[in-house]
Amino acid sequence: MKKFLPYAIILTFLISFVFVDNASANAKSTPVIQSVAKDTAVYIEPSVESAVIGQIAKGSYVTATSVNGEWTRIKVKQLEGYVETAALVSVKSEKYVVKQKGGTTLFTYPSPSAQKAGQLYENSMIFVYGSAPGGWSFVQYGYQTGYVATNSLKKPVATKKRVNAAKGAELHLTASPSGEVLGTLANKTVVQQYTTVAGWAYVEAGEQKGYVKVSELANIQIAGNKVYNKGVPVAKGQKKRVALTFDDGPNAKVTPQILATLKKYDAKATFFMVGPNASKNSAVVKQVYEAGHEIGNHTWNHPKLTALSTTTVKQEVDRTNNAIYAAIGQYPTVFRPPYGATNDKVRSVMTIPSILWSIDTLDWKHRNADKILTYVKESVKDGSIILMHDIHQTTANGLENVILYLKKQGYEFVTVSEILQ
């Protein structure tokens, strides 16, 4: 028995070493971005007795992993080593998106002559940790960090969506099928969507955040077949809301102009589409959807539904539903009866809300860009649903002034489904 004792001691040591090593590995912290509070030395090992391999200047940003209370492992571009924890301070990030057409360049240092660290696509969600002199921001995208020009960024606007994928939506670190998989969002999970880029949407749901395929999301749907002509006013102290709505499109020329104006001001809207236009302009339908706007059904032939049989009403609705589904893989979430004509017979066919309006700009009648704003000024209030048409050039011409006026009055622009909640 004695001859086995040395081996038992060795075996016990090895087992304990494995467990300690595993425990140490499991205890490792997730890397975070921190700022350097003072000029400090970088050591090759977590000890002042080890060799100094570089210096980090005050105000620099580093990727930091805690080793213990006294030492932190840092990485900044080509320099990696240990610094005293007291030399670092925590920093919070803010969400921004790249607004610059064609994207923006990520640099290793806040200078256009610095080494390029990568390229960020337009509409990419990034996290800004701080600024540097000369109009630069230190940002993070996935595992990439560096500096971008601050004027290439803008604050995002969140839109409430839900996961619409039977097996759930796979969450990625970056907007790419090859991006690291962070988890899966269960079907019907409600998320906040902040931006879309190349068919991917950046979303957040509690602690889960990342990119999912746009096709795996749907607008929040209000249940039932009720008829609405205005939205729900917000609680006192909150920002007032309006819903901009556009009927009869999409139009190959006018709708993209309207989308560009909405994008310029981070405004969301709802588009009530007629079947033939949705069918022949499917690429525009997709453009509307991927920009985060809501899509509604406005029938196939634009008839007065109250004069039709129940069967014909259903055909009008179903044909347009199918045309929209063919374009984006999602059915519309709201309905607008042509001329606002609805009754019990029409509602018996509907499984989604019917949306009327509280402000008719009469843009279809006067075809005058300036008059659109006149009608809005006369009647707008919190919860207003504004009716326009994305088939008239004059509407596209007048939209910017409408948005500018409403923004100045303190309104934000939401989809119909959002304003009903």
What's the token pair of residue 12?
A: 């016990």
pLDDT band at 157; cut points 50, 70, 90: confident
Give the C-alpha separation, 354 to 297, whole Å: 9
Q: Are 328 and 295 in contact (CB under 8 A)?
A: yes
3-state percent helix, strand, coil for the chain, nearest multiple of 5 = 30, 35, 35
What is residue 283's predicted lDDT score, i.e. its pLDDT? 96
Say whether pLDDT at 15 is over 60: no
- Class in CATH terms, 94-154: mainly beta
357: exposed, middle or buried (Cβ count in 10 Å: 0-12, 13-18, 19+): buried
Give the C-alpha separation, 334 to 417, whole Å: 8
Say whether pLDDT at 170 is over 80: yes
Same fold, 94-154 and 227-419: no
What is residue 5's predicted lDDT score, i.e. its pLDDT? 39
Q: How far apart are the first and last CA of the chain?
A: 77
What architecture is the 227-419 domain classified under in CATH? Alpha-Beta Barrel (3.20)
Give the C-alpha separation, 270 to 222, whole Å: 14
CATH label, 159-219, candidates 1.10.15.40, 2.40.10.340, 2.30.30.40, 3.90.420.10: 2.30.30.40
- Section 77-101 average pLDDT: 90
Model pLDDT for residues 374-384, shown as the tens digit of each residue: 999 999 999 99
pLDDT band at 30; cut points 50, 70, 90: low
Beta strands in 152-293 (DSSP E): 153-154, 159-163, 169-172, 181-185, 190-197, 200-205, 208-213, 217-219, 227-228, 240-247, 269-273
The full set of domain ranges for the chain reads 27-90, 94-154, 159-219, 227-419
Q: Is CATH 2.30.30.40 what the domain over 27-90 is classified as, yes or no?
A: yes
What is residue 251's predicted lDDT score, i.e. its pLDDT? 98
Whether the CA torsion 179, 182, 187, 189 is positive or negative: it is: negative
Model pLDDT for residues 90-140, shown as the tens digit of each residue: 889 899 999 988 999 999 888 999 889 899 999 999 999 988 889 999 999
Average pLDDT, the chain: 89
Whether the CA torsion 303, 306, 308, 313 is positive or negative: it is: positive
Question: Residues of 277-287 as b/e, b for ≥16 C-beta within 10 angstroms?
Answer: bbbebbebbbb
Active site residues: 247, 389
43: part of which helix (H) or strand (E)? strand 40-43
Q: Quickly list DSSP for 282-347.
A: HHHHHHHHHTT-EEEE--SS---GGGS-HHHHHHHHHHHHHHHHHHHSS--SEE--GGG---HHHH
Rounded to two decimals, the pTM is 0.62
pLDDT band at 12; cut points 50, 70, 90: very low
Say whether pLDDT at 72 is over 80: yes
* % residues pLDDT > 70 (the chain): 93
What's the token pair of residue 119?
A: 């390229």
Q: Are 92 and 138 in contact (CB under 8 A)?
A: no
